[in-house]
Amino acid sequence: MNLARHIEQYLPSPLLELMLHINAEAAERGETLYLVGGIVRDLLLSLSSPGPPTGLRFDLDLVVEGDAVKLATQAATTGRPRLLAHHRFGTAKLKYETFTLDLATARKETYERPGALPRVTPGTLKDDLIRRDFSINAMAMSLATQDYGELIDPHKGKTDLEQGLIRVLHAASFSDDPTRILRAVRYEQRLGFVLEAETAQLLEQSIPMLDAISGDRIRHELEMILREDRPELAINRLGELGALSRIGHILTGDDWLAASFDRARRLKRPAQLPAIYLCLMVYPYHEDEVEQVLTRLSTPAKLSRAIRDTLRLKGRLHLLDRPALKPSEVYDLLQEYDLTAIQASVAASDSPEVRRHLQLFLTKLRHITTLLDGEDLKRLGIPAGPHMGQILQTLRRARLDGEVSTRADEERLASELTQYRSPSAKQEGQGR
C-alpha cells in the first residue's frame, strides 16, 4: 500500500517541505529515512473513515538508518528550531513554532531487568519496529526515492487497526517496560479498541511490575492519559484492571470523578487540564494519604503546591457558600491559593453558590488592582511602611466592592485613611 498521495494531501505544506528537505539531506549522507509511529497509524485510521481525516497529530517521528543526532544538527540550520539531542539513545528533537520533529537512529534495545531503561545499540528499521510497544505503532512509511510512500508493516498493524485490537509484539513486552500497561489502556480507550486476548492476559500478569517503575516515568504516562479528550475512561479502566492502585494506592475511578472531569472541561482552560485532573483525582482523600501519592509520583514542586492548595481550600469552601459575601471577602478568602487549585475546586464543588464565587474570583476579582501604587502614595505624603501596605489593601477592597472607581476616588480615600490614623500609628510613622 502506498501512502504518498495521502500524506502529501494531509500534512501542512511547511511540515511536508521540511520532512522532504531532511530526507534529501539523509540521502546525501547515504542514509535512509522513514516516517514512523502515530502519524502512520492515524493516517490509516482516517482513510477508513468517511470525510476528511480527523485527529491527525503533526508532531512527526522519523527514524533513520544512520546517525539521527548528526542529521538533526544538520537539519537545524533550516528554520532555526530548538534542538534537543540525547546522544545516549541516538535521538534528537527539533522544536519549531507550530510543530515538532523527533528523529531517532534505528536501534535495537535490550533490558537488563524488568522496568529498567533499555540498553541501546544501532540497528535497522526492522530492529527498530520490533522494539515498539504495539503492532499499530510498529508501522513505517518509506521516504526513500525508490519506494517513497510505501507502507512497511511487518507486524500486521494495519490488520489490527481494522479489527480494533491493541496487541503487543512479543511476550516480554510488558515485563520489559511495564509503562506499556498504561499506554495500552490509553490507546484502547482513545480508539475504542479492545486488548487482544493474549495481550490482555500478559498485561494483567505484569501489573505488579509497575511497582518497579520510577515515579517520574509513571507520572509521565499518567500525564499522557490526562491529556486525552476523556481521560476518565482510561482512569476507570485502569481501576478495573487493578493498575490504578499501583500508581497511587488511594486512587479510584468512579462516577464522581467522571462528573468532576466533565465540569473541569467546561472551564475552557485546556493547557491546565492535566494538572486540574490530578488535583481532582486526589480531592476526596486526606492530606497524609495524598502526600504518599506525591512521593510515589515524584511530583514537581509547582504541581505539588497546586494539589496541596486544593486540599487546603477544600476545608474552607463552606465559607464561600453564602450569597451575601462581598467581592472583597471572596478575594480575601482565595487570593493566597494556587489558581489551578481554585479551578479544581470549581469542578469539585457541588454548591452552585461556591462555584459562583470561585468563578467570580477567576474571571474578575483577581484581575482588579488599584490605580494608585506605592510611589503615588509617597507623593501624597504617606511614608513607606506597614501603614502604606494597609492603605493599598483597603484601596483594593474598596475597588473590589465598587466603593471607588477613579484615581481621584482612591486619592480621596487614601487621604482620609491617613487623616484618621490613630495617634500611636502617627508616632510610629514619625519614628521611621
Output the pLDDT for position 71.
92
Cell of 58: 503533526
Output the pLDDT for position 102.
93
- Asked whether the beta carbons of 241 and 207 are under 8 A apart, the reply is yes
User: Which strand ranges, in their side-by-side order, compose the sheet holding 140-142?
Assistant: 82-86, 91-95, 100-105, 60-65, 32-36, 140-142, 151-152
pLDDT tens string, the chain, 432 residues long: the values are 999 998 888 888 888 888 999 999 999 999 999 999 888 999 999 886 654 445 556 788 999 999 999 999 988 887 788 999 988 888 999 998 888 899 999 998 887 777 777 788 889 999 999 999 999 999 999 999 999 999 999 999 999 999 999 999 999 999 999 999 999 999 999 999 999 999 999 999 999 999 989 999 999 999 999 999 999 999 999 999 999 999 988 999 999 999 999 999 998 766 689 999 999 999 999 999 999 999 999 999 999 999 999 999 999 999 999 998 999 999 999 999 999 999 999 999 999 999 999 999 999 999 999 999 999 899 888 888 888 999 999 999 999 999 999 999 999 999 888 875 544 444 444 444
Cell of 85: 539531542
Please count the CA atoms within 13 angstroms of the CA of 37 that sit on its side-chain side. 17
Output the pLDDT for position 57.
61
Q: Parallel, antiparallel, or unpaired for β 32-36 and 140-142?
A: antiparallel
Q: Return the bridge partners of 122, or none.
A: 107
| Identity of residue 40 | V
Output the pLDDT for position 81.
87
Residue 154 to residue 136: CA distance in whole angstroms? 11
Residue 308 to residue 303: CA distance in whole angstroms? 9
pTM of this structure? 0.86
Q: How far apart are the first and last CA of the chain?
A: 83
| Closest to 400 in 3D by CA, of 372, 361, 374 | 361
Output the pLDDT for position 15.
87
Sketch out the chain's domains with CATH numbers: 1-163 (3.30.460.10), 170-247 (1.10.110.30), 252-367 (1.10.3090.10), 374-431 (no CATH)
Provide the 3-class DSSP secondary structure of residue 222. Answer: helix
* 399 alpha carbon, distance to own chain's centre: 36
Q: Which residue has the cell 479528550?
A: 229
- Asked whether the beta carbons of 135 and 164 are under 8 A apart, the reply is no
